[in-house]
Structure 1
Amino acid sequence: MTFLPPQLSEEPPTGEVFHYTSADVAITNILTSRTLRLSPMHSTNDPWESEPIYTGFTLVDGEQFDGDTAQAATEELDRHIRLHSKVLCLTRDWGVNLPRFEGERRGWRHLSSWAHYGGGHAGICLGFNLEKLAAAFEKVGGPDALRVAGPITYWAGKYAPFLDQIDTRHLHKYGTDAVARHYAEVFQKRIFLTKHADWSSEYEYRFALMNQSTLPEYIDISDALTSVFLGHSFPEWKLPSLREALSNFGAIEVSRMRYHNRTVQADPPGQLAEPAATAFPPKETGALMERVAALAGEAEYHVV
């Protein structure tokens, strides 16, 4: 059974999704490269995904398929699926017709996500236009890639939703790589878009990709980035780097989280303040390196 609260299942989500991360990753990786990384599936936080997938097998009468053979086939199929799959985890957003910085169920407002993924409240939460991000996702991974996108379904119970067994004749006829790819296509929602109910508070929306590469893939966010939320403890000294990293994105709304007396809110969006003017404006004219060259002929330092 799914664990989406009733009021959210009846309310349409907005057209935005959010991604929590540390300040350094946001500034030096995501914003500087203008990409979001699809990370290996085995690095996710739910053991349903990060641990091996055991499919089980349907045997033909008289076929020799002992325990060791079954274990080897299971491990090989699992490698083809999980080691060749990458995911991007995002947070869904509710609050149609509300400003981005208001609302109890906004995607940037999850305190546990700020603590776990947002650098302990010192990181950044990035907002994206879902339609534009999905269009960029379609260009990733090559022509034969399996691409899956959608909200996560959260299931309760001791076991994950059942997956059918694999006919061993297909392994012999088509090979484990073809069987694994076809199996992932058939059961894509259960493999890529299902997690345990313990993670339901993350309200995850996901992009998943499976191809022949074991390396990460990257989605271009040049046209998709919409907003930036700074954690309550985001350090002021990182603002110049953030300002520079955002300079090529156009007008991006930047808000800061505020916590006071057990309430949470975000400051209304605004442009990042420019750094204070220097207290020592130079009397000499010229560009920086011209003034450095003039200074070098005048200053005397004692270097040991």
Structure 2
Amino acid sequence: MIIGHSDPHKYLYHYTSAETAITGILKFRTLRLSPYTKTNDPKESKDWLFDFGSREGRDLSTYNRNDLSGKLSQELKHKTHLTCFSTDDPSLSGVHPFDIYKRGFCKPRMWDRYAGGHTGVCLVFDRQRLIAQVEKQIGDRYSLYYGPVAYANHFVGHHPDHQEFTVDVDLLESVGIKEYAQMHLATFFQSLFFEKLTDWRDESEWRVLAFTDSDKPVDISFEQSLVGLMFGCDVTPENRKEITELNHCSGVQHEGLQWKNSRVWYDWK
């Protein structure tokens, strides 16, 4: 997990609080895909407003923009679930003293935001094993998408190259809103669900996303895909002990981070 590691695509990193790790993730050995509308980015949590287009010359004034946008947002967002990770920097050298700041588990702002202010943990998953588990458990029921998040800033106004917020009313009338939502998602999932503003880019986010049939969370048994766990520098001894016991005989490698003289290093104990 640390020594000699040079493949930036091997691991995925999930920050969480000690409480969530103890009472949920590690206790039940599951990773939850939560509703997309619960994300902390207003670009994602707020309803989308769509424009309309027709190749058949339909009278677009007959469509209520706010009403149809609300219905389509409901179909696209409220049945979409995801879980989020960080990744390693692509420029890993394999020399761990120089790579530490490039690692997905060494992001101080993420420790502060998502892992209880450095009192939580960062779970380390083998990417290919985790994808295999997701596919095995829900791949035959739901549409799945996974991959890195792109970062871009877009400005107010219509741009012909960005059609993710334009409704093809001809197709909508032909197939109905539920099927249209799935078709629209399949075409524009990258720009709708895998793009954030550049202010988020240091998170190096990677997502697993499922388009489901309800608004209920989806739990995935991660089995042997959890290969490591990094403790935050301020995790309590009690939580460290309980977490270690929950992973007993699981093969999970436990490490930690510590700060000294404004520098971060591994807490090998």
Same fold by TM (over 0.5)?
Answer: yes
Matches within 5 A, 1:188-227: 188-227=189-228
Q: Which sections of structure 1, spanning at least 5 residues, go unmatched? A: 1-10, 271-304
Aligned match of 2:108: 111
Aligned match of 2:235: 234
In the TM superposition, residue 262 of structure 1 has moved relative to its aligned partner by 0.7
Aligned partners of 1:13 and 1:96 also within 8 Å: no
Aligned partners of 1:141 and 1:211 also within 8 Å: no
Return the alpha-carbon distance in structure 2 between the equivalents of residues 89 and 101 of structure 1.
Answer: 26
Relative to structure 1, is the Cα distance of residues 140 and 41 closer, same or farther in structure 2, using a 3 angstrom cutoff?
A: farther
Matches within 5 A, 1:3-22: 13-22=8-17
Residue in structure 1 matching 2:149, options 149, 152, 171? 152
In the TM superposition, residue 180 of structure 1 has moved relative to its aligned partner by 0.6
Q: Secondary structure at the residue paired with 2:241?
A: helix
In the TM superposition, residue 89 of structure 1 has moved relative to its aligned partner by 0.6
Relative to structure 1, is the Cα distance of residues 36 and 50 closer, same or farther in structure 2, using a 3 angstrom cutoff?
A: same
Aligned partners of 2:33 and 2:81 also within 8 Å: yes
Which amino acid in the other structure matches residue 258 of structure 2? R
Relative to structure 1, is the Cα distance of residues 103 and 195 closer, same or farther in structure 2, using a 3 angstrom cutoff?
A: same
What percentage of residue pairs aligned between the two structures are identical? 27
TM-superposition CA deviations, 1:222-244 (whole Å, max 9, x none): 11111111111100122332122
Relative to structure 1, is the Cα distance of residues 194 and 230 closer, same or farther in structure 2, using a 3 angstrom cutoff?
A: same
The structure carrying a bigger helix percent of its residues is 2
Aligned partners of 1:155 and 1:197 also within 8 Å: yes
Aligned match of 2:186: 185
Q: Secondary structure at the residue paired with 1:169?
A: helix
Relative to structure 1, is the Cα distance of residues 43 and 255 closer, same or farther in structure 2, using a 3 angstrom cutoff?
A: same
In the TM superposition, residue 102 of structure 1 has moved relative to its aligned partner by 5.6
Q: Which structure is higher in RCO with an 8 Å CA cutoff and minimum separation 6?
A: 2
In the TM superposition, residue 104 of structure 1 has moved relative to its aligned partner by 2.0
Aligned partners of 1:101 and 1:265 also within 8 Å: no
Return the alpha-carbon distance in structure 1 between the equivalents of residues 202 and 49 of structure 2.
Answer: 27
Aligned length: 257
TM-superposition CA deviations, 1:33-72 (whole Å, max 9, x none): 11111111011122221111223111453536446x2221
In the TM superposition, residue 188 of structure 1 has moved relative to its aligned partner by 1.2
Matches within 5 A, 1:29-178: 29-59=24-54, 60-61=56-57, 63=59, 65-66=61-62, 69-94=64-89, 95=92, 97-98=94-95, 103-141=100-138, 143-158=140-155, 162-164=162-164, 165-178=166-179
Relative to structure 1, is the Cα distance of residues 154 and 56 closer, same or farther in structure 2, using a 3 angstrom cutoff?
A: same
After TM superposition, the score normalised by the length of structure 2 is 0.88
Return the alpha-carbon distance in structure 1 between the equivalents of residues 171 and 79 of structure 2.
Answer: 20
Q: Which sections of structure 2, spanning at least 5 residues, go unmatched? A: 1-5
Relative to structure 1, is the Cα distance of residues 264 and 174 closer, same or farther in structure 2, using a 3 angstrom cutoff?
A: same
Aligned partners of 1:55 and 1:163 also within 8 Å: no
In the TM superposition, residue 184 of structure 1 has moved relative to its aligned partner by 0.2
Tell which structure's C-alpha radius of gyration is larger.
Answer: 1
Aligned match of 1:297: none
Aligned match of 2:252: 252
Aligned partners of 2:50 and 2:65 also within 8 Å: no
After TM superposition, the score normalised by the length of structure 1 is 0.78
